[in-house]
């Protein structure tokens, strides 16, 4: 193995891609790009019992949406393929034989019933059942049986292959973020490496593939930290050079307590998958469908566990590639803040061209059969753009430009209206009708003068007119809004509120 940086994202196709997995993929990708290295995607699908149809496609499509393109993977191939573990059976057969011949793994013929019986006995004594050097000779395996008996059993019955954990040893491992980690071998299982169906377990396939694919750095979630000692021992058993291990801190719930889950997304109403997950049982909208930009999603996730060391928060993917460094990773969990997530999206929407926003708005207007003047769309989009937090909000933020309000905010109505309101609104109608040049400047002057003449506070006048035009006190610049809606429609809306108040 040369010194080239090679990293991988190795998801299991057991369901949709969680944003925690997306962040792991992102950090691997950024590290590779920063160091002119290679980013691989490997599908770890050896556990066919947990395989979920459509999951692999969801994972790969999610990465594609975010702009995280693998240099090697199941879709584009590479020199180290195949990139699905289910297609690498011969590789695992070869290496399990090597491990057995080295005396670092052994055949075990114990039945499920025998192991369950032993487990229950331990539970009665308040102990945790562990199959290792402390008791493995009392079980039915190639260490306790003669070679002749072992050979017969291999031919006649199902067996697994277990790793032979060292006896009474301290396993000293290293993690880039956490430094030295020491594990006593007496608390470690002789993990099953090969199952009865002749397929490898995650641990064995993971280590073999990382070595065969020349992975230099293993960047994965903190939940894999308990597996580090076993993986470390497997590298030593094969006498292979170990990669550097980096276990990323957890993404925490909005409360800051516990790992973020899909239930948290359901509870607080934020997406937990990059793109829509759809199967026979459920349809769950992802970031894309909820109106988030891929660039904003990536930006937000990058800052969950990584700190650039400056006050800068807004990054493009290319800027993240240039600035990413393992040295700036945090070693403590990062709290998921849904509001901050939306804030990032709002910032990135401001970088979008108005033509993109116009396309989104126009497609919605057509779908809803709403009449519109295409010449006015650029001005409308320009007005509401600073208010857009999610792409899905564009239509609702613009609706009052095309349709009069169906209702009026009751609280605002009660606060702003009195006996004189109707007469005042009718006066505004007349003034607007008489306006020869109906633009925002003249509209503003008209409303200011009418406020003075009527002895009303200008803020109240604006509130009343906004209520008539929009139905709420929120919205874009009022004078420009009225200009775009046009004299005829504006006069009608103000007159409608006056009639409503009679």
Are 326 and 246 spatial neighbours (Cβ–Cβ below 8 Å)?
yes
| Residue from 95, 89, 100, 98 nearest 48 by CA | 89
Token code pair at residue 415: 């606060």
Condensed to tens digits (0 to 9), the pLDDT of residues 451-482 reads 898 888 899 999 999 999 999 999 999 999 99
Condensed to tens digits (0 to 9), the pLDDT of residues 32-52 reads 999 999 999 999 998 888 899
Q: How confident is the model at residue 1 (pLDDT cuts 50, 70, 90)?
A: very low
Burial of 65 (0-12, 13-18, 19+ CB in 10 A): middle
User: What is the share, in percent, of the chain residues with pLDDT greater than 90?
Assistant: 89
Q: What is the pTM of this model?
A: 0.93
Write the DSSP symbol of residue 189.
-
What is the mean pLDDT of the segment spanning 113-120?
A: 93
Condensed to tens digits (0 to 9), the pLDDT of residues 335-387 reads 999 999 999 999 999 999 999 999 999 999 999 999 999 999 999 999 999 99
What is the mean pLDDT of the segment spanning 483-498?
A: 96
* Residue 349 confidence (pLDDT): 98
Condensed to tens digits (0 to 9), the pLDDT of residues 145-204 reads 999 999 999 999 999 999 999 998 999 999 999 999 999 999 999 999 999 999 999 999
Q: How confident is the model at residue 268 (pLDDT cuts 50, 70, 90)?
A: confident
Condensed to tens digits (0 to 9), the pLDDT of residues 236-259 reads 999 999 999 999 999 999 998 889
* Residue 416 confidence (pLDDT): 87
Give the DSSP letter string of 302-357. Answer: HTSSB--SSS-----HHHHHHH--GGGB-SS-EE--HHHHHHHHHHHHTTS-HHHH
| Integer Cα distance of 31 and 82 in angstroms | 23
Are 494 and 462 spatial neighbours (Cβ–Cβ below 8 Å)?
no
- Give catalytic residue positions: 262
Token code pair at residue 426: 């009718």
Are 53 and 19 spatial neighbours (Cβ–Cβ below 8 Å)?
no
The backbone torsions φ and ψ at residue 179, rounded to the nearest 5 degrees and listed phi first, read 75, -145
Condensed to tens digits (0 to 9), the pLDDT of residues 292-338 reads 999 999 999 999 999 999 999 999 999 999 999 999 999 889 999 99
């Amino acid at each position: 193995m040369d010194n080239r940086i090679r990293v991988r994202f190795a998801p299991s196709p057991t369901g949709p891609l969680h944003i925690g997995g997306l962040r792991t993929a992102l950090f691997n990708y950024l590290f590779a790009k920063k160091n002119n290295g290679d980013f691989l995607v490997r599908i770890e699908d050896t556990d066919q019992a947990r395989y979920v149809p459509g999951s692999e496609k969801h994972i790969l499509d999610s990465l594609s949406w975010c702009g995280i393109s693998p240099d090697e993977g199941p879709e584009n191939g590479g020199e180290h393929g195949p990139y699905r573990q289910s297609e690498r059976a011969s590789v695992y057969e070869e290496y399990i034989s090597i491990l057995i011949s080295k005396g670092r793994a052994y055949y075990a013929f114990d039945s499920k019933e025998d192991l369950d019986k032993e487990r229950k006995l331990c539970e009665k004594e308040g102990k945790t059942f562990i199959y290792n050097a402390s008791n493995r000779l009392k079980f039915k395996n190639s260490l306790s049986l003669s070679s002749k008996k072992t050979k017969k059993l291999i031919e006649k019955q199902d067996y697994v292959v277990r790793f032979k954990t060292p006896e009474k040893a301290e396993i000293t491992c290293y993690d880039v973020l956490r430094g030295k980690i020491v594990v006593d071998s007496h608390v470690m299982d002789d993990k099953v490496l090969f199952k009865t169906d002749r397929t490898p377990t995650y641990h064995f396939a993971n280590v073999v593939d990382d070595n065969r694919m020349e992975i230099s750095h293993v960047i994965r979630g903190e939940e894999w930290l308990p597996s580090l000692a076993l993986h470390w021992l497997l590298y030593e058993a094969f006498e292979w050079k170990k990669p550097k291990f980096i276990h990323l801190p957890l993404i925490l719930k909005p409360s800051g307590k516990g790992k973020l889950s899909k239930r948290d997304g359901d509870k607080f109403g934020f997406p937990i998958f990059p793109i829509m997950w759809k199967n026979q049982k459920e349809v769950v909208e992802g970031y894309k469908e909820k109106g988030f930009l891929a660039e904003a999603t990536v930006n937000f996730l990058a800052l969950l566990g990584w700190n650039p060391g400056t006050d800068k928060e807004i990054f493009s993917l290319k800027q993240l590639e240039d600035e990413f460094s393992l040295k700036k990773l945090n070693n403590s969990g990062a709290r998921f803040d849904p509001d901050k997530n939306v804030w990032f999206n709002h910032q990135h929407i401001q970088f979008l061209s108005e033509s993109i926003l116009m396309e989104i708005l126009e497609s919605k207007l057509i779908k809803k059969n709403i009449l519109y003047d295409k010449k006015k769309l650029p001005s409308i989009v320009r007005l509401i753009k600073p208010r857009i937090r999610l792409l899905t909000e564009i239509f609702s933020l613009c609706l009052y430009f095309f349709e009069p309000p169906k209702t009026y905010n009751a609280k605002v109505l009660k606060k702003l209206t009195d006996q004189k309101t109707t007469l005042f609104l009718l006066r505004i109608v007349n003034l607007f009708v008489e306006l020869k040049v109906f633009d925002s400047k003249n509209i503003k002057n008209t409303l200011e003068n009418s406020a003075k003449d009527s002895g009303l506070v200008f803020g109240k006048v604006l509130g009343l007119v906004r209520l008539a035009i929009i139905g709420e006190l929120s919205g874009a610049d009022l004078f420009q809004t009225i200009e775009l809606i046009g004299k005829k429609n504006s006069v009608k809306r103000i007159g409608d509120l006056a009639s409503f108040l009679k």
